[in-house]
Amino acid sequence: MAIQPVSRFLASRQGIILIGAIIGILAPLLQKFGNPANMGICVACFERDIVGALGLHRAAVVQYIRPEIPGFILGSLMAAFYFKDFRARTGSAPLVRFVLGFCAMVGALVFLGCPWRALLRLAGGDLNAILGLTGLTIGVAIGDQFLKHGYTLGRSRPTYASAGLVMPALSLGLLLLLFFAPRFSANGPIFFSEMGPGSMHAPVIMSLAVGLIVGIIAQRTRFCTMGSIRDVLLVRDLHLMSGIIALTIAAFATNLILGQVHVGFSAQPVAHSNHLWNLLGMVLAGLAFVLAGGCPGRQLILSGEGDGDAAIFVLGMLTGAAFAHNFALASGPDALVDGALKVGGPSIWGMWAVAIGLVICLLIGWTMREKIEEVR
Amino acid sequence: MHIDTCGLSCPEPVIQTMKAINTGAQSLRVLVDNTTAMENVKRMANSKGFTVTMEPQGELFVLHLNKV
């Protein structure tokens, strides 16, 4: 296959629309074949499930090694090698990126989803996603102001190729744990949920295949939900946004065909209708994504093509997921109790965590700015 | 004017280039170290009425931006 024409097409407007549409079709299909409703693909939820499977949190209903996540990383690695843009690099404020990943995950688990899932929830008729996406836009807009005023985490440096292969190696390790499902002690991991969202999954091979495909095409197109909003606000560029819109329309159409659209706010699957905290959770997540330079999906893709700093962000997210469940920061979903709707949402701890996370991110954005010395 | 964006995260290469364009620069030389930044800078420069030619330099790319 000729590399140049393919790369050129994927970098074009038609290319990103096609890729958005493909992801928009694949995600609802994963739901049809077993993934939780409105959760065909969710980077935050799936990372949380993996952390649970490893026993780093003990919420019994969200424990499963989701093969989509290692699939994204390995797909990205394959594309980066094939198209010759694997570049091992690291060294741009790794600890700050870890903290941003942590904060992003807390925000996402208060909303109950990453930006990809926000779009998929909307495409399934869950109107709470509008609050989440509004919050995401507000968070991105705040982050844009920092970027305009010189925010930077500094330059990364090239490093050893083997250093860039750490995340793909960890991904392979996760897949081995999934395939062989060893039991490390009588009451220990690996845990697999027997009920709840963690027990619902498409066949392993199908999930892994979709993960690899999405990883490959997202690496080529630089698909990024946060970036799409940022580019519109900051440089009036609609390139990424056209892919996001294509994803949402394609997912909606696929959901319609599969009978997976249920319009409303209340009692949506794995979601709550506490409007304020749907919004504020995603304000925090959006701000953390901008400051770190990518949404959770994009960070996974970058970690597969050699970016050690994105890998640290991912590890921050994984740690954040463990804390979010161990410390009861993550929101509970809406529930029907004796026929009456009980609106879900975060505990008081979750509310405080979002507030503290916002303060931390604002401090990072405010204090890590420099005059632009490169312009000379 | 010369801008070195090597090692900077997305979207800093675009922002730095845009700031330089907004100061009234008619001709710019932008050094980038990855294809994402190259495509993003190229797209933004085209939208601002600049022609862009790309010259590979080892593992880096030099973008020559000129106002039409």
Q: How many Å separate Cα A287 from the centre of its chain?
A: 14
Q: Report pTM.
A: 0.95
A-chain residues within 8 Å CB-CB of B42?
Answer: none
Q: How many CB atoms lie within 10 A of CB A276?
A: 12
Q: pLDDT by residue (tens digit) across B28-68?
A: 999 999 888 998 999 999 989 999 999 998 889 999 999 98
B-chain residues within 8 Å CB-CB of A374?
Answer: 3-5, 16
For chains A and B, CB pairs below 8 A equal: 65
Closest CA to A222 of A144, A299, A139: A299
Contact status, residue B20 vs residue A375, Cβ threshold 8 Å? yes
Q: Does the pLDDT value for residue B4 go beyond 70?
A: yes
The b/e string for B17-39 (b: 16+ C-beta within 10 A; e otherwise) is bbebbeeebeebebbbbbbbbbb
Least CB-CB distance to B44: which of A148, A237, A309?
A: A237
Q: pLDDT tier at A357 (50, 70, 90 boundaries)?
A: very high
What distance in Å separates residue B7's CA from the closest CA in chain A? Answer: 4
What distance in Å separates residue B2's CA from the closest CA in chain A? Answer: 6
What distance in Å separates residue A295's CA from the closest CA in chain B? Answer: 12
Q: pLDDT by residue (tens digit) across A114-172?
A: 999 999 999 999 999 999 999 999 999 999 999 999 999 999 999 999 999 999 999 99
Q: Does the pLDDT value for residue A46 go beyond 50?
A: yes
Contact status of B9 with chain A (Cβ, < 8 Å)? yes
Q: What is the ipTM of this complex?
A: 0.91
A-chain residues within 8 Å CB-CB of B4?
Answer: 374
- Rounded distance between C-alpha atoms, residue A313 and residue A184, angstroms: 28
Radius of gyration of chain A (CA): 19
pLDDT score of B36: 87
Least CB-CB distance to A155: which of B1, B6, B20?
A: B6
